[in-house]
Amino acid sequence: MSTLDHGFALLLLLVTMDLAVFGAVVFFMKNAKTSSREENVKQTADLLETLVSDSKKVAEQWREQVEQKQLLLRQMSEELDEKIVSLKLLCSRAEALARSSQQGMRSSPETGPLTGRETKIISLARKGRRTEEIAAQLALPRGEVDLVLGLEKKLSRLSTEKRPS
């Protein structure tokens, strides 16, 4: 059961408890004797008021906890997505290097072929698009776009440094 379902169930339980308490008040009010009726009604009303306010406090605390856990889950999910993207890119680079070395080619990061997605990312960045725009347009996580652009810059620097002067 998700935290949202759990929170909803707890809130529903609190509402049910409030209705049961309200029903008890009505029952006690009808059955109270006339002489001590007002006193009993006042005591019962005070007790119910305390129960209702305590129930509201508990419900608010649970709601806050559910919201905090949902936020934490979203953050963890985003971090995990970024790590998965990084691993996929590293694996694709490693596979490309392995293929090129099997074909007798000199293995070097800059000789690995770019995927279509990587080419689109680099092309859009060279056209002046921001990382967020590229990620939105290609429906990719921002972390993947950042990683591809970062690797492209590093590879460009490496190829510039290796060129004879």
pTM of the model: 0.38
Q: Crossing angle, helix 142-162 and helix 116-126, to 10 degrees?
A: 80
- For residue 105, give the 3-state DSSP assignment: coil
pLDDT in the model for residue 2 = 67
- In the chain, where are the structural domains located? 52-96, 115-164
pLDDT in the model for residue 105 = 42
pLDDT in the model for residue 99 = 73
Identify which of 8, 14, 13 has the alpha carbon closest to the alpha carbon of residue 51. Answer: 14
- Along the 165 residues of the chain, how does pLDDT read in single tens digits? 566 677 777 788 888 888 888 888 777 767 655 546 677 778 888 888 898 888 889 889 998 998 999 999 999 999 998 889 888 888 887 777 777 666 654 444 455 677 888 888 989 999 999 999 999 998 888 888 888 888 888 877 777 766 555
pLDDT in the model for residue 71 = 93
The C-alpha R_g of the chain, in whole angstroms, comes to: 32
Amino acid identity, position 111 = T
The CA-atom distances, in angstroms, between 146 and each of 9, 91, 143, 160 are 41, 17, 5, 21
